[in-house]
Amino acid sequence: MKQNSEQSFITCPTCSGSGANDKNFSCAECGGIGEGLFYRGNFLYWGLRISRGNIFLRQVKHFLDLLIDLIAFLIFIGGLGSLVFWLWQNLSAGILNKILFFWQEKSIFILFFWLGLAALMFLIYRADKMRDDEARIKEFKLIELKTYPDNWEQLRRYKKRLDISLTFRDKTLSIIEDAYSLALKLKNPEVTSLHLFSAMLKSVKISVLFARLNVSGRDLVDRLNSQLSALPATLKKEADLKIANEVKEILMQGFVEAYELKEDNTTVLNLLLPCVVSNRIVAEILLDLKIDENKIKNTIAWFRINEQQVANYRLYRKLAIFKPKTIMDRAYTAVATPLLNNFGYDLTLAAKWGRLQLCVARAKEITAVFDALKSGANGVLLTGQDGVGKKTIIEGIAREMVTEENVPDFMRDKRLIELDVARLVSGATAADAEARLLTIIDEINRAGNIILFIDNLENIIGITAGAEGSLELSEVLATQLEKGLLRCLATASDQNYSQHVEKSAIGRTMTRLKIAEPDKDQAIQILESKIGYLEARNNIFFSYNAIEAAVELSAKFIHEKSLPEKAIEILEKTAVKAAGEHKGERHICDKNDIALIINQLTEIPVQDLGEQEGEKLLNLEEEIHKYMVDQEEAVDMVANSLRRARTEMREGKRPIASFLFLGPTGVGKTELAKTISRVYFNKKDLLVRLDMSEYQEEDSIKKMIGDSDGTKGYLTEAVRQKPFSLILLDEFEKANPKIFNLFLQVMDDGRLTDGQGQTIDFTNSIVIATSNAGSNYIEDEIIKNTPIEQIKNSLINEQLSRIMRPELINRFDGIIVFKPLSEKDTVAIARLMLADVAGMLKAKGMELEISDAGLAEIARLGYDPKFGARPLRRLIQDKIEDEIAKKILGNELARRDTVVINDSAEIEVKKAREL
């Protein structure tokens, strides 16, 4: 046996970790230990021998314990009843002196009462002993080892050995025994992690955990049974059944986790993740059910948060006994602070009575505040985006101050008071407000047990008495901090810090601590701490997938707020909606419920693809051609990009798609963009159209993105309000080169910073730029039958490179050349345009008929190879729509009449039969 390091598993070579020889006696080499590991100077091993006999004996012992407790309880109840009966007898007889000295009586009833009292003391003793037995991990002492035993003989004599089975609760031991019994029943030669996982599913905690993960228990059990039935059934006798080394390693890993989390004993939650990680089959089954290790880890954290909330409440009730219920400290040396009490809110008292939220997943930030104060700073300023949880961290500090377990010595027995600045300045002149603040600071100095907290520190900046040389409120506070006369915590948003605080006296005095948005796992755990209240209030349940979706989708699609606040708001809206739609039912909210709320807020389709939508996307080309004639290459490229976007098969930091449409005027470039908006977004109003000829000047960039004076930009404001939209940039080549640089950033990073410094997200937008550059060249080459790809390459290399930078050209997902329209195309376009006219007539109760010859005549009259379909649009407007309007106004056309376009493309009216 070589020298081993911490947490490396050591397996006996003689018995291969089983701890027994061929005759099932303890292995001579390892003394029955079999396998173990060193952890913090202790050697951990599994010492409990499991067999049907041992299982039966433990069950009998458990039954006898329950029976003894029941008998003791009944004796206590009987004794209490005897005392009541004796008191009633003596009260009825009027013998009061016996009642006053009842313990001196020798009545059988009194003797039975004393026996009942003894039974009660016995029950209390057993309960205390049970609590002590359950806290076995606390007996584990740490030592530092410089050398490790070199062989199994030395290890057997090694005193710091720990049998981890002693730290397992009865319920957890029952699961291990069930795994053993299952392997024995199936005649498997080893108890594997597959047996252990299957046994775990009988645990209520594990069942609820997988229910939270939205996993069908029956489906999971069926899949496991299928795998268990495939194991070899070669066991001849129970004595040959071994516990696999992987199971022992799972049990030891569970103990290590329980110890590091400072838990009293090893539970089934400690074993679950090691079991999943160690068994590839279990991991694959769960992956098929869309459950990965990270989801399990966060759901276990959810259970622990709930347990912590219950434990914390009990702990606060216990420790709060020693916290003064008034402004005084425990030594009763504090001075009264009447003005501060009037304008402040005592966060430590609020924490004492459980009125503050639990601060989850922010231990690192709380420690950073303590470290800053310990390093000599008298003021710490927390800055970050709105909604990241700055004030929750302060409330977490208040809770720590109540328990006084993890706070620095100088913060023990202190009050954390929040100063209400709004009330401080309300109804007072600047001079009065300054006088109030000075009095409050004086009270804090004299009291000596107060730490001040100011939320939104910028609110005290700029308030001054007005006299020459007078200080503003923030300067008054800064002066006191510099003198070390008080300690202060404060918060400010990043924007307010840079605009108001950074260059002020108070900003220079206080130590800044940046609070970032929590990462995904932190945000999930923060949400998990809020779920209990939402579920109880709305009579619903949240699955883990719903919480995960709230974090992921709000992070992806909502950019005006920060995590965790925006995800919490999504959960609240989902809970209210579910409660309203499922009154009286315990609805389970899943990720689709979250997606519906996100869709309502952003109009972005984030739900799972339905069968109908999937079929529509598969036939997108056909759908587009209902409104678009020819241009097959353009339609195919656009359809493929949209399918990739909807199935999330695209780079997430760029727009959904970006295209540059090239071609002569009137060939359908703008019409295809409108069709995409109609077909993909299902709405015509999700089209942001910019005529780039209006952005030719250098300062026109302000018109597009806004200015620092608060002026909103047309593009950035439109996309901020409707991030799921199509941006159409008509005549893109006419824009100023600085505008090109903006769109280089949009197509590269999927975002743009507006004039006020806000980041606008373009990752849910489609960007289409149209250009007439090289139109004459396209027409000439089409006549020569030059391939489209060759025309496109020539345009990029010779025409576009003179107008745009090569890096901008290369950022487009596709550059599409539109062909000039043929006469045949014009007929099809005329049919589409007249279909719109028919729709307008139908809305008025009229019909439209058109002959093939009349349609062909309209197409012939409207065809112009130079201007494409635009002359046709004007022709139909002048020759058809105007004439129909005149006949309606002249009462020649009424409801149920039919407008007929004859072979000469003239308007006739077919009157309806009178009713």
In the chain, what's the furthest Cα-to-Cα distance?
128
Domains 322-514 and 611-817 share a fold: yes
Confidence of residue 333 (pLDDT cuts 50, 70, 90): very low
**Buried-exposed string 637-656: b where 16+ CB fall within 10 A, e elsewhere:** bbbebbeebbeeebeeebbb
Confidence of residue 315 (pLDDT cuts 50, 70, 90): low
Give me the pLDDT at residue 542, please: 93
Q: How far is CA 164 from CA 134, 205, 254, in A?
A: 12, 22, 10
Give me the pLDDT at residue 178, please: 94
Give me the pLDDT at residue 251, please: 92
CA angle at residue 219 from 217 to 224, to 5 degrees?
95
Give me the pLDDT at residue 836, please: 85
Confidence of residue 469 (pLDDT cuts 50, 70, 90): very low
Q: How far is CA 812 from CA 621, 640, 646, 748, in A?
A: 21, 15, 19, 9
Give me the pLDDT at residue 3, please: 44
Average pLDDT over every residue of 172-182 = 93
- Phi/psi for 214 (5° steps) reads 65, 35
Give me the pLDDT at residue 135, please: 52
Q: Could you identify the residue written with the tokens 């000295």?
A: 101
Element (H, E) at 910: strand 907-910
Tell the CATH superfamily of the 322-514 domain.
P-loop containing nucleotide triphosphate hydrolases (3.40.50.300)
Q: Could you identify the residue written with the tokens 């992987």?
A: 246
Low-confidence winner among 421-435, 540-554, 613-627 (lowest mean pLDDT): 613-627
Q: Is the pLDDT of residue 326 over 60?
A: no
Considering only CA atoms, which of 476, 514, 472 is closest in space to residue 492? 514
Domain 823-910 has CATH 1.10.10.10: no
Q: Is the pLDDT of residue 569 over 90?
A: yes
Structural tokens at position 713: 């930009």
Report the alpha-carbon distance of residue 258 to residue 265 in Å, rounded: 7
Report the alpha-carbon distance of residue 333 to residue 327 in Å, rounded: 10
Q: How many CB atoms lie within 10 A of CB 896?
A: 12
Q: Cβ distance 384 to 390 under 8 Å?
A: yes
Average pLDDT over every residue of 840-854 = 88
Q: Is the pLDDT of residue 376 over 80?
A: yes
Average pLDDT over every residue of 823-843 = 84
How are beta strands 898-901 and 907-910 bridged, if at all? antiparallel
- Average predicted confidence (pLDDT) for the chain: 83
Q: In a 3-state reduction of DSSP, which class is residue 39?
A: strand
Give me the pLDDT at residue 331, please: 37
Report the alpha-carbon distance of residue 387 to residue 493 in Å, rounded: 9
Q: Is the pLDDT of residue 612 over 70?
A: no
Amino acid identity of residue 330, one-letter, is R
Helix, strand, coil share of the chain (percent; to 5) = 55, 10, 30
Q: Could you identify the residue written with the tokens 């709305």?
A: 538
Confidence of residue 223 (pLDDT cuts 50, 70, 90): very high
Q: How far is CA 352 from CA 168, 321, 336, in A?
A: 33, 9, 20
pTM of the model as a whole:
0.75
Q: Could you identify the residue written with the tokens 């401080």?
A: 424
How is residue 902 annotated by DSSP?
A: -
Q: Cβ distance 669 to 818 under 8 Å?
A: yes
Classified by CATH at the fold level, domain 520-602 comes out as Helicase, Ruva Protein; domain 3 (1.10.8)
Average pLDDT over every residue of 252-275 = 89
Classified by CATH at the fold level, domain 611-817 comes out as Rossmann fold (3.40.50)
Q: Is the pLDDT of residue 493 over 50?
A: yes
Q: Which residue has the higher pLDDT, 79 or 648?
A: 79
Task: Pick from 2-11, 342-351, 678-687 the range whose average pLDDT is largest.
Answer: 342-351
Structural tokens at position 432: 């009065």
Distance of CA 415 to the CA centre of its chain: 34
Q: Cβ distance 489 to 380 under 8 Å?
A: yes
Give me the pLDDT at residue 330, please: 43
Amino acid identity of residue 584, one-letter, is G
Amino acid identity of residue 866, one-letter, is K
Q: In a 3-state reduction of DSSP, which class is residue 175?
A: helix
Q: How far is CA 332 from CA 89, 324, 360, 486, in A?
A: 51, 9, 33, 20
Q: Is the pLDDT of residue 4 over 60?
A: no
Average pLDDT over every residue of 853-874 = 80
Question: For residue 564, is the peptide bond before it cis, meaning its omega torsion is within 30 degrees of 0?
Answer: yes
- Phi/psi for 621 (5° steps) reads -60, -45
Structural tokens at position 31: 């003394």
Q: In a 3-state reduction of DSSP, which class is residue 888?
A: helix
Q: Return all residues near 912 (Cβ < 8 A) that are at least 6 apart.
A: 894, 895, 896, 897, 898
Give me the pLDDT at residue 329, please: 46
Q: How many CB atoms lie within 10 A of CB 209?
A: 22
Strand order in the sheet with 907-910: 847-850, 898-901, 907-910
Considering only CA atoms, which of 270, 276, 244, 269 is closest in space to residue 256? 270
As a whole-number percent, the residues of the chain with pLDDT over 70 amount to: 86
End-to-end CA distance of the chain: 107
Q: Could you identify the residue written with the tokens 């795998």?
A: 227
Q: Is the pLDDT of residue 366 over 80?
A: yes
Confidence of residue 651 (pLDDT cuts 50, 70, 90): low
Report the alpha-carbon distance of residue 46 to residue 10 in Å, rounded: 12
Each residue of 871-907: pLDDT tens digit? 888 888 888 888 888 888 888 888 888 888 888 888 8
Give me the pLDDT at residue 321, please: 55
Distance of CA 574 to the CA centre of its chain: 14
Report the alpha-carbon distance of residue 639 to residue 46 in Å, rounded: 61
Give me the pLDDT at residue 176, please: 94
Distance of CA 393 to the CA centre of its chain: 18
Structural tokens at position 449: 């047990």
Residue ranges per domain, the chain? 322-514, 520-602, 611-817, 823-910
Report the alpha-carbon distance of residue 180 to residue 176 in Å, rounded: 6
Report the alpha-carbon distance of residue 758 to residue 751 in Å, rounded: 10
